[in-house]
Amino acid sequence: MEQQTMTGKTAIITGANSGLGLETAKIFAGRGARVILAVRDIEKGNTAAQGIKEEYSGATVDVMNLDLADLDSVHAFAEAFISRFDSLDLLINNAGVMTPPYAKTKDGFELQFGSNHLGHFALTGLLLPLLIRTENSRVVTLSSLAHRKAAIDFDNLDGSQGYKGMKFYGQSKLANLMFATELDNRLKHHGLSTLSIACHPGISATNLFKLGGREMPRIFSGLMHRYLQPATMGALPTVYAATDSAIKGGEYIGPDGKGNRRGYPALEEPDPAVKDEALRQKLWEVSEELTGVTFNFSK
């Protein structure tokens, strides 16, 4: 993958203090972008930022507070960003929570659907005016292999009628992919230069893999790093989606290896459910209703 310069570009990466987000931030900063680490834990964010600056002298890295499980925090982040910056080239919707015990966000949403999808949906909508004003900006939303065979259960989005961690994770990742696809359709419909792309990291060794919310025993951690691709490789589909000149918008990028579990970035075909336009529009309408955020596509 060619190393395009990103000098002069501004990028927000959610959940960028560790794992895929941190590796993405390193690559962006190394190519000259100004990177905003949008993180829930400021202390961890500052540590990550310091590490990036030590690795790349002259890197411009900012840390801003963002809790995707709290819509007030999402609004506060967007307002603070818009007051400080006059352009936004890249919004990387990266942060995610995977198969936690049943819990709800501050606003009463099931934690995975609320954080992984609704938080990013609201964030994107609030930052859209700045994205639209920035020529050829991009929104990259991370999905997962878990989106395959998943479904959106509109009658049980909050999990109150039964909850299974992996099922709800798959639902949130299908929602991410459907949102990315529908967003690109709407951007194109309004003749805008902003692109929306989805991607996934394959199966990467990140701190998403925890047992019941606890750290994994060392023996399993060692096996994981032996058989799964490292976060440095898992970040490449995100970087490709964010920077490659061949991207037209609406693509789904993942690793090119067996089962799309590891390898280098390539175009991938999503689950057929993603192509259901009526379903995408229903998800969009429900998301606007739940978050109270509507998208304004006028310049």
Helical H segments across 143-235, by residue range: 165-189, 218-227, 231-234
Catalytic residue among 56, 102, 163, 169: 163
Q: Which long-range contacts (CB under 8 A, 24 or more apart) does 41-45 make?
A: 41/17, 44/17, 44/18, 45/16, 45/17
**251 is written with which tokens?**
């693509």
Give strand pairing partners of 62.
36
Burial class (CB in 10 A: 0-12, 13-18, 19+), 193: middle
What secondary structure letter does DSSP report for 100? P
Say whether 163 is catalytic: yes
User: Which has the closest alpha carbon to 123: 70, 193, 172, 185?
Assistant: 70
The values of phi and psi at residue 231, to 5°, are -60, -30
Residues 6+ apart with CB under 8 A from 118: 71, 105, 109, 287, 290, 291
User: Which has the closest alpha carbon to 131: 177, 176, 96, 85?
Assistant: 85
Active site residues: 163
